[in-house]
Structure 1
Amino acid sequence: MELKKGTLSGIRRLNRSTILQLIRENDPISRAVLAEKLSLSRSVVSIIVDELLADGIIREAGIGESTTQGGRRPVYLGFVPESRFALGIDVGGTKTIMSLVNLAGDIVRKKKIRTLHRGSASIEYIASEAAEFIRNTNIPAEKILGTGIGVPGFVNPDTGLLSNAPGLEIDELDIKSLVAGTLPGPIFVDNDVNMAVIGEVWCGTAKHATNAVMITIGTGIGAGIVVSKQLYRGRRGYAGEIGYFQTYDNPSRPEVGFLEYGPLDAVASGGGIVNMARELLEDYPLSILHESSCITSEQVFAAAESGDVLALRVIDSVSGHLAAALNNVIVLLDPDVVVIGGGVAGAKDLLLDRIRRIVSRMSPIDCSIDLASLGEDAGAVGAAGTVFIQSEYLKLS
Structure 2
Amino acid sequence: MATKANLELVRENNRKLVLQTLFNAEQTARSLISKEVGLQRSTVSSIFVDLEEEGFVQELGIGESSNLGGRKPNVIRFNRNYGYVLAFDMGVRHLRYTVNRLSGEIISDGAVGIKSKNVSIVFDEMIKIINEIEISDTINGLVGIAVAVHAPVFENKIVYSPFFEFANFDLVSELEKVANVPVVIENEANLAATFYRDYHVYEQEESYKDFLALNIHNGIGVGIVCENHIFRGVDGLAGEVGRTIMFGEGTNILKCGETPRLEDLYSENAIIDRAAKLKNVAHISRKEFLDLIKAKDTAILPLLAEWQMAIAAFIYNINQIYAPEAIFISSRIFDNFPEIAAETLDKVERLDSVHKPKLIVSNSSVHDSSMLGGVALISRVVLGLKGYELKFSL
Q: With structure 1 as the length reference, what TM-score do the two structures score?
A: 0.83
Aligned ranges for residues 179-328 of structure 1 at < 5 Å? 179-205=175-201, 208-249=207-248, 254=257, 256=259, 263-281=261-279, 294-328=283-317
Q: 2:173 aligns with which of 172, 177, 184?
A: 177
1:215-245 deviation line (CA, Å, top 9, x unaligned): 2222111111222221111111111111111
Distance 1:142 1:295, change over 3 A: same
Post-superposition shift, 1:101? 1.0
Q: Is the 8 A contact 1:204 1:374 kept in 2?
A: no
Aligned to 2:102: 103
Distance 1:48 1:268 in 2: 53
Within a 5 Å distance, the mapping from 1:366-377 to structure 2 comes to: 366-375=356-365, 376-377=367-368
The alignment covers a number of residue pairs equal to 375
* Structure 2: 5+ residue stretches without partners: none
1:388 paired with 2:369, answer no
Q: Within 2, Cα distance between the matches of 1:66 and 1:346?
A: 48
CA distance in 1, matches of 2:12, 2:230: 21
The question of whether the paired residues in 2 share the 8 Å contact of 1:204 and 1:373 is answered with no
Provide the rounded CA distance (Å) in 1 between the counterparts of 2:167 and 2:355: 38
Q: Which residue in the other structure is 1:83 paired with?
A: 82
CA offsets 1:186-213 (integer angstroms, 9 cap, x no match): 1111112222322232225469322222
3-state SS in 2 of match to 1:62: strand
Distance 1:224 1:57 in 2: 31
Moved more, 355-364 or 163-172: 163-172
Distance (whole Å) between structure 2 residues aligned to residue 181 and residue 12 of structure 1: 32
- Whether the aligned pair in 2 keeps the contact of 1:345 and 1:351 (CA below 8 Å) is yes
Tell me how far apart the structure 2 counterparts of residues 245 and 71 of structure 1 sit (CA, whole Å).
Answer: 64
**Does the residue aligned with 1:176 lie in a helix, a strand or coil?**
helix
Query: Scaled by the length of structure 2, what TM-score is found?
Result: 0.83
Do residues 332 (structure 1) and 321 (structure 2) align? yes
Please tell me the residue identity of whatever aligns with 2:262: L
Distance 2:15 2:141 in 1: 17
Paired amino acid for 1:183: A
Q: Residue by residue, what CA displacement relative to the aligned partner does 1:78-126 show, whole Å, maximum 9, x if unpaired?
A: 2322222111111111111122110221121223111222133344333
Residue ranges of structure 1 left out of the alignment (5+ in a row): 1-5, 257-261, 283-291
Contact between 2:327 and 2:360, CA under 8 Å: does it hold in 1? Answer: yes
Cα distance change of structure 1 residues 126 and 336 upon mapping to structure 2, 3 Å threshold: farther
Structure 1 segment 78-157 matched on structure 2, within 5 A: 78-134=77-133, 136-138=134-136, 142-156=140-154
Kindly tell me: are residues 17 and 378 of structure 1, through their superposed partners in 2, closer, same or farther at Cα, counting changes over 3 Å? farther
Q: Secondary structure at the match of 2:160?
A: strand
Change (3 A) 1:109 1:184: farther
1:11 to 1:299, Cα distance in 2 relative to 1, 3 A: farther
Distance apart, 1:170 and its partner CA: 4.3
In 2, are the aligned partners of 1:162 and 1:175 still within 8 Å (CA)? no
One-letter identity of the residue aligned with 2:369: A
Change (3 A) 1:321 1:26: same
Sequence identity of aligned pairs in percent? 21
Shift of 1:133: 3.2
Amino acid corresponding to residue 192 of structure 1 in structure 2: E
Q: Which letter maps to 1:360?
A: E
Q: Secondary structure at the match of 1:83?
A: coil
> Per the alignment, in what secondary structure is the counterpart of residue 86 of structure 1?
strand
Residue 151 of structure 1 aligns with an amino acid whose one-letter code is V
